[in-house]
Structure formats: structure tokens, C-alpha cells
Amino acid sequence: MKVSTVVLISALALALNVSTTYADERTPEQVKAAREFTVEGVGFNATPQTIRAKWPTATSVPKQSNPQIGLECIRVEGTANTDGIDFFFLDGKLMNMLVWYFPSRTSKMGSWSTIAEKVVARLGKADVDSKGLDQDSKSKEICEYDWVIEDAERWVRLHVTTEFSVLKVWDREVARKKLAKEKATAETGF
């Protein structure tokens, strides 16, 4: 009986922690902004053909792709406002975008915090499990901020190091399908 009570209390504590991890107080406007999130005019309704038509110099990245599960990565180097974008498609549906900014560009913006401020303006405050400044002077890591917008099936992460800033924008539903495909095709040796 004692074990059951301990397990129940632990499960309740975990559930409370998980439920308060995300900023559940998103406005309808913020949910809409997350659902309709675009980078350089490209949203989650884009296809590989859309990317190649917009940027004829876009290239496939075989090392980031996995044809076995229908994953294709298309890289665009140097757009008008970014240093590059990696688009990941699962079965032709946009799963996520990695938007790259290097120090020379973020310096012209003022700093990487300009990117964070623009995301906050659209999506609200970052979730409470985000990591702030690293105080270790030897570390290249600066911060990592997350916005999980469950009602829009979006996850946005701003990861900043001394070498780059990358904004990662995910369609969580497509990402779950990718995970399911990876599990179904995993070679475990047994």
C-alpha cells in the first residue's frame, strides 16, 4: 500500500510539473500566429516544389534525408533575411524549418535577442522550461528558448550559441508521424 501511495504522489507531481511546463495562456491571436508561422513567406503548407520554385538554387541534403521513411531535407543558402534555411519534408509535407543566423547577421540586427523579441511579439513569452544565459565563460551555449503551442500543433525553439543562432519551427503532428515511421523501421538486432 505504501508503494502505491508513493507512486500515486510521484505521478501527480509529474503531471503537475508537465502541465505547468508550457505557457497555456496563449491568446487566440498567438495560436493563430503559430499555426500560420512563416519564414521568408514560406509556411507549413509549402511543398518541396514550392521551395525549389522560390529558390532555384535550393539543394537536397542527402545526409539529412532518409528516403526509407520519406524524409527529405532541402537547404537554401542565404535568403534575404537569413543565412540559410533547412526545410524538412515528410512524405512531401513540411515538418520543420531550421532558420540559421550567424554572428555577422545578428550583429547587424542588434543581437540575437532581436530574433527572440520578434518571436515573443508573435507567440508570447517563452515556456518556463527554457534555459537562460549560461554563466560558464568556456561554454559556447548562450540560451535555448521554447514555445510549445499545443492548440496550433507547433513547437518553436530559439537556440543560440557563440557560433550561430537557429530558429527551429516544427509541425508537431508531422513530427509524431516521423517518429512512428522511425520506430516501425528501426533495426534493433532482434
Q: What is the pLDDT of residues 86-117, one digit of tens each?
A: 999 999 999 999 999 999 999 999 999 999 99
Among 64, 82, 84, 81, CA closest to 73: 64
Q: What is the pLDDT of residues 44-70, one digit of tens each?
A: 999 999 999 999 999 999 999 999 999
124-140: average pLDDT: 75
User: Are the C-beta atoms of residues 43 and 35 closer than 8 Å to each other?
Assistant: no
- Match domain 25-185 to its CATH number in 3.40.1000, 3.30.70, 3.40.190, 3.30.1340: 3.40.1000
All structural domains of the chain with their residue ranges? 25-185
| 3-state secondary structure (DSSP) of residue 162 | coil
| Closest among 155, 134, 131 to 145, alpha carbons compared | 131
Please state, in angstroms and as integers, the Cα–Cα distance from residue 68 to each residue in 56, 61, 136, following that order.
26, 15, 41
pTM of the model: 0.83
pLDDT for res 132: 66
pLDDT of residue 134: 57
Q: For all residues of the chain together, what is the average pLDDT?
A: 86
pLDDT, position 20 = 39
What angle do the packed helices 113-123 and 28-35 form, to 10 degrees? 120
pLDDT digits (tens, 9 = 90+) for 7-50: 333 333 333 333 334 445 899 999 999 999 999 999 999 999 99
Q: How many helices (H) and strands (E) does the chain have?
A: 6, 7
